[in-house]
Amino acid sequence: MQIAQVIVDIPTRQTNNPYSYLIPDYLVDQVVPGMRVEVPFGNRKITGFVVAIVNNSDFAGKLKPISSLIDFSPVINEELLQLSSWMADETYSFKISCLQTMLPGGMRIKNKKRLIANDDSVVNQHPEIFDGNHEIDYNRQKLTDKSIAQIIRLQKEGKIQVEYNLTHHAKPIMMKAYQGQLDQGQADSQLAVVRKNAKGQLKLLSILSAHPHETFLRNQLITQGVTESAIKTGEKNGWLKQTLKRHIRNPFLRSVAHTNPLTLQPDQKQAVTRINQAISGKQDQVFLLEGVTGSGKTEVYLQSIAHALETGRTALMLVPEITLTPQIVGRIRSRFGNQVAMLHSALSNGERYDEWQRINSGQAQVVVGVRSAVFAPLRNIGLIIIDEEHDSSYKQTDNPRYQTRDVAKWRAAYNHCPVVLGSATPSLESRARAMKGVYKLLTLPHRINRHALPHVSIIDMKTEMAKHRSILSNQLSNAIQDRLDKHEQIILLLNRRGYSAFLMCRDCGYVPKCPNCDISLTMHKNTHSLNCHYCGHKEPIPTVCPKCHSKRIRFFGVGSEQLEEQVKQLFPTARVLRMDVDTTRKKGSHEAIIDKFGAHKADILLGTQMIAKGLDFPEVTLVGVLNADSALQFPDFRSSERTFQLLTQVSGRSGRADKQGEVVIQTFNPDHYAIQLAQTQDYERFYATEMRVRHDGKYPPYYFTVKLTGNSPSENQTASEMFDILTYLKSHLSAQAIILGPTPKAVTRINNRYYYQIIIKYRKEPNLKPALDEILMQSQKKQRHGLQIAIDNEPLDFM
């Protein structure tokens, strides 16, 4: 008797333990750990992941059999199965969420969605039609309607591609028909069909016969005006040939010329040597590679990746969200060609699935991707790189709330390989570990071409605003005009999207707020609406005050949309591009903006912090930061660190080639140490100053932290349950644990639920994990009156 242990898709604490199911005879030896299956659960069927196959079960009752197989081969390998267990424990989340997080978007199956295969499925009955290049003939293969529906679904899910062209014997007849002989009244029965429903079919024929040696995808045909019924008729009458193929899309729109490794500078050479030794020696050592922008970190990565490949292993390189990807991927592809797969959010589900397949099947040995690529199904990893390791996108803010650096370290230990964390401004946690010797510090102290760092000036906006009420200081406006005259490029950073921060009635002070959240609405001019950035609520922009009917409604606070408008007014001849969440929603738009600016088809690139990172534009000689304080205003112990990192990074954008760069930072807090030290790019002093602040405030890296957030539809309920949890924690934790709260979150009400939080700071607290697990269990068992609880281990913010 074979029994499958299955983690079922019911997110609760109980289902973190697998359920046992019988493997029916016809599936014996086909079910393997890491496959997804459909299983009965209560009176319905749900999906789950097989995590083990055993011969006995200690379950006392009668075991039910697996209903069907979803996958034909494992989608989660042995390493990732083990990782999911560790991660569920580490992040206080459900195993099922961890397993699902590891799969690319398009492969996640929602509970109620119909399954793609079952025991009488088309795939089991007709395996031959999925091996590629098989002409399918629905009649000959006796496919049922259900099977045909499955094929169409598989195709929509991007798992197979259907291609069309004319069949051999039908081609001459149909060509003739298309070439104008249609009206001559031939008695051919097929032509009769054509005539009856001619329009769509003529279209289809015209496309196919114009390119007789090509095949067409279903979607290509549909978008050119061919009807579904024309395709069906063609298939039915045998003149249209349909083939099914596992199709691999190519997300690399541009091909890249090959580049050779550069001769390394002494510091780079030393770094590469140490990393390569760790690769050869199979050591899971963590390196912190510290170097200002332009110091040659990427070349170090490339040569270390090359070494990992030479030793027959694979390499994983992570970059922050989409910002870095197009340029870095270009550099990596130019070195390693088609061995590179990329995984990031700008790919369609289908493309991501294809890349995932290429990795899983071993065709791609180098993976470049964002946070979730840390789960890429690479085998035998020889090197993991995390570029810009301090970046906040490496922490997932939803369940499972993992820190990519920790997952990378786990995989490095499993694969016996080094991790390289690269940054100009390392997180305090990583730097502190390097100082202790836990990580090995490698530094690249110079810019490659010894260019001086840009000249940074700080403008006090308090005095500036007293003189005139423009968002651009005189110095910044003059500098912009100067660069425009010299035909050089400019980047302007304003960390707030939308047109203006909020609306206010000049007469009664009324500010429109979201009906669902405690937050004022942001005006978006292009959509003519007031939007809530928390829940997505939208409403029209009022022309009179809804409260006092005054017409004196005014906008306050400038967002990127308004900055664009103002800049265009001030510099009417300048070509301006804006990059923020709102202009980069469409697939490929982010890349298009970068390409355009990179080709100097625009003079000014402005936008939110998306533009701050990693972009390498040699013609940029001026960077303006319009509101350097935006991060400082948050009530968060990391706000200084974020401000310093952002300003240092954005300054690195200026003057990368042979021209001296300039940076203008506008601020209301010119004396703040984060801003002062960013001016000189003095990481060493920032680290020392900030470590003192952290020490005195008992913050990381001196203390570990956990954030516990509870929410419910009633504020009283939330508060009283959270105070109850506080009592529980106090009686279970030692006196050295510091418990803060419960306090209402900065935005207390979101989507009509009230949020309170408790922060726990500790150095060593063996009771913490059991206590938090118990609290989660209580809320799961509904002992906490509908309070929903989220636990964030090492949160990035305390808000």
Binding partner of residue 418 among ligand ADP, Zn ion, none, CB under 5 to 8 Å per kind? none
Please choose which of Zn ion, ligand ADP, none residue 547 contacts, taking the beta carbon within 5 to 8 angstroms, the exact cut-off set by kind.
Zn ion
Tell whether residue 98 is among the known ligand binding residues.
no
Q: Distance of CA 374 to CAs 204, 395, 725, 726, Å?
A: 44, 12, 34, 35
Measured from the CB atom, is 211 or 554 closer to Zn ion? 554
**DSSP-derived secondary structure for 217-264:** EHHHHHHTT--HHHHHHHHHTT-EEEEEE--------S-----PPPPP
Nearer of residues 357 and 718 to Zn ion, judged by Cβ: 718
Map residues 567-606 to x or -, x wherever contact with ligand ADP holds by CB under 6 A: ----------------------------------------
Q: Is 514 in the site for Zn ion (CB under 5 A)?
A: yes
Quick one: 135 or 507, whose CB is closer to Zn ion? 507
Helix or strand run (H / E) with residue 406: helix 404-415
Under the criterion CB under 6 A, does residue 294 sit at the interface with ligand ADP? yes
Least separation in angstroms between residue 392's CB and ligand ADP is 19
CA gap 14, 371 in Å, rounded: 28
Beta strand pairing call for 704-712 and 753-762: antiparallel
Q: Establish whether 508 is an annotated binding residue.
A: yes
578 HSE (CA, 13 A, CB side): 22
* Options 232-240, 290-298, 407-415, 634-642: segment touching ligand ADP (CB under 6 A): 290-298
Binding at 537: pick from Zn ion, ligand ADP, none (beta carbon under 5-8 Å per type):
Zn ion
- CA dist 373 and 80 (Å) reads 12
Residue 535 contacts which entry, Zn ion, ligand ADP, none (Cβ below 5-8 A, type-dependent): Zn ion
Q: How far is the CB of 148 from ligand ADP (least distance, A)?
A: 52
Residue 291 in contact with ligand ADP, rule: CB under 6 A: yes
Q: State which of residues 86, 130, 534, 728 lies at the interface with Zn ion (CB under 5 A).
A: 534
Nearest distance, CB of residue 500 and Zn ion, angstroms = 17
448 binds, among Zn ion, ligand ADP, none (CB under 5 to 8 A by kind): ligand ADP
Tokens 């591609």: give the residue. 161
> Closer to ligand ADP at the Cβ: 396 or 425?
425
Please give the single-letter amino acid code of residue 66.
I
Q: Give least dist CB 272 to ligand ADP, A.
A: 10
Q: Which is nearer to ligand ADP, 202 or 448 (CB)?
A: 448
Binds 534, which of ligand ADP, Zn ion, none (CB < 5 to 8 A, cut-off by type)?
Zn ion
Distance (Å, whole) CA 612 – CA 609: 5
Written as one string, the DSSP assignment of 37-102 is EEEEETTEEEEEEEEEEES-----SPPPBP-EES-SS-SS-HHHHHHHHHHHHHTT--HHHHHHHT
Cis peptide before 40 (omega within 30 of 0): no
Q: N- to C-terminal Cα distance for the chain?
A: 53
Of the pair 209, 265, the CB lying nearest ligand ADP is at: 265
Q: How far is CA 511 from CA 25, 544, 550, 556, 745, in A?
A: 67, 12, 13, 10, 21
| Size of residue set near ligand ADP by CB under 6 A | 14
Subset of 215-274 contacting ligand ADP (CB under 6 A): 262-265, 268
Whether the CB-CB separation of 428 and 694 falls below 8 Å is answered with yes
Contacted entry of ligand ADP, Zn ion, none for residue 293, CB cut-off 5 to 8 Å set by kind: ligand ADP
In 10 A of CB 634, how many CB atoms? 15
Per rule CB under 5 A, is residue 547 in the interface with Zn ion?
Answer: yes
The answer to whether residue 593 forms part of the interface with Zn ion (CB under 5 A) is no
Taking CB under 6 A as the rule, which mask of x and - marks residues 418-457 in contact with ligand ADP?
------------------------------x---------
Give the residue, chosen from 38, 71, 299, 488, that forms a contact with ligand ADP under the rule CB under 6 A.
Answer: 299
Token digits of residue 739? 């418990």
Among residues 276 and 298, whose Cβ is nearest to ligand ADP? 298
Give dist(CA 393, CA 622) in Å, integer.
Answer: 26
Question: Residue for token digits 């005259």?
Answer: 485
Comparison of 149 and 548: residue with beta carbon closer to Zn ion: 548
Residue 537 interacts with Zn ion (CB under 5 A)?
Answer: yes
- Nearest distance from residue 321's CB to Zn ion, in Å? 24
Exactly one of 159, 218, 297, 313 binds ligand ADP (CB under 6 A); that residue is: 297
* Residue 265 contacts which entry, ligand ADP, Zn ion, none (Cβ below 5-8 A, type-dependent): ligand ADP
Q: Please report whether residue 511 would count as binding Zn ion according to CB under 5 A.
A: no
Q: Segment 334-353, which members bind ligand ADP (CB under 6 A)?
A: none
Q: Which of 738, 768, 742 is nearest to 757 (CA)?
A: 742
Q: Is 505 annotated as a binding residue?
A: yes
Q: Could you say which of ligand ADP, Zn ion, none residue 557 binds, taking C-beta under 5 to 8 angstroms by partner kind?
A: none
Q: CA nearest 149: which of 126, 112, 121, 125?
A: 121
Encoded tokens for 100? 């699902």
Q: What CA–CA distance (Å, rounded) separates 530 from 536?
A: 10
CB of 790 to ligand ADP, least distance (A): 36
For the chain, what's the residue count?
799
Specify whether the CB–CB gap between 556 and 500 falls below 8 A.
yes
Least CB distance from residue 618 to ligand ADP, whole Å? 8
Phi-psi domain of 282 (left: phi exceeds 0; alpha: psi -120 through 50; beta: other): left
Out of 47, 298, 393, 473, point to the residue binding ligand ADP (CB under 6 A). 298
Asked whether residue 417 is marked as a ligand-binding residue, the answer is: no
| Of 350 and 614, CB closest to ligand ADP | 614
* Contact between residue 403 and residue 794 where contact means Cβ atoms under 8 Å apart: yes
As measured in angstroms, the least distance from the Cβ of 513 to ligand ADP is 43
State the DSSP H helix or E strand holding residue 478, giving kind and residue range, or none if neither: helix 474-486
Cβ closest to ligand ADP, residue 256 vs residue 570: 256
Which is nearer to ligand ADP, 297 or 411 (by Cβ)? 297
List Cα–Cα distances, 747 to 94, 518, 522, 629, 635, in angstroms: 27, 6, 15, 20, 12
Q: Is 754 exposed, middle or buried (0-12, 13-18, 19+ CB in 10 A)?
A: buried
Strand (E) or helix (H) holding 490: strand 489-493
606, 798, 598: which is closest to 703 by C-alpha? 798
| Residue 167 vs 270, nearer CB to ligand ADP | 270
With b for 16 or more beta-carbon neighbours within 10 A and e for fewer, the 37-65 pattern comes to bbbebeeeebbbbbbeeeeebeeeeeeee
User: H-type helices in 281-397, by residue range?
Assistant: 297-310, 325-336, 349-360
Sole window of 292-300, 401-409, 583-591, 735-743 interacting with ligand ADP (rule: CB under 6 A): 292-300
The answer to whether the annotation marks 535 as part of a ligand binding site is: yes
Contact residue for ligand ADP among 5, 233, 295, 649 (CB under 6 A): 295
Distance of CA 409 to the CA centre of its chain: 20
Pick from 72, 414, 510, 634 the residue near Zn ion by CB under 5 A.
510
Stretch that binds ligand ADP, among 288-296, 361-369, 563-571, 640-648 (CB under 6 A): 288-296
Contact footprint for ligand ADP (CB under 6 A): 262-265, 268, 291, 293-299, 448
The residues of the shown chain that bind Zn ion, judged by CB under 5 A, are 505, 507-508, 510, 514, 516-517, 532, 534-535, 537, 545, 547-548, 550
Q: Give binding residues for Zn(2+) as ranges.
A: 505, 508, 514, 517, 532, 535, 545, 548
Annotated binding-site positions: 505, 508, 514, 517, 532, 535, 545, 548
